[in-house]
Amino acid sequence: MVKFLLIFFLVSIILRFVLPVLMRWLVVAFVKKQTRRYGAQFGANPFEAPRPEPSHNGPTNGQVHVDYVPPKQKPAQPKEFKGGEYVDFEEVK
């Protein structure tokens, strides 16, 4: 009985703590491998941050340039509910 409980305890610890870490490591390795394979097809590395292109025409840091300001609209007045359409009711037996 003690041998069974010891084996059960060890298996439960392995399933509870070791297996999730192992599965996470395997999934991350698989995803990285697939993204490298995909990136090799299209010439990109998905794990590198894209390099920002320098913008010489835009505003510098701290400045804002607005091309278009839409006209302000009046807030819509809620319409009063004047009732619905009358529908005849006929009882079906």
Q: Would you report the helix, strand and coil content of the chain in percent, each value rounded to 5? A: 45, 0, 55
Q: pLDDT tens across 17-62, in order?
A: 989 999 999 999 999 998 888 877 776 665 666 566 655 565 567 7
Residues across the chain = 93
pLDDT in the model for residue 10:
93
pLDDT in the model for residue 9:
93
* SS3 (DSSP) at 44: coil
Q: What is the largest CA-CA distance in the chain?
A: 82
CA distance 32 to 25: 11
Which stretches within 15-74 are classed as H helix?
19-42
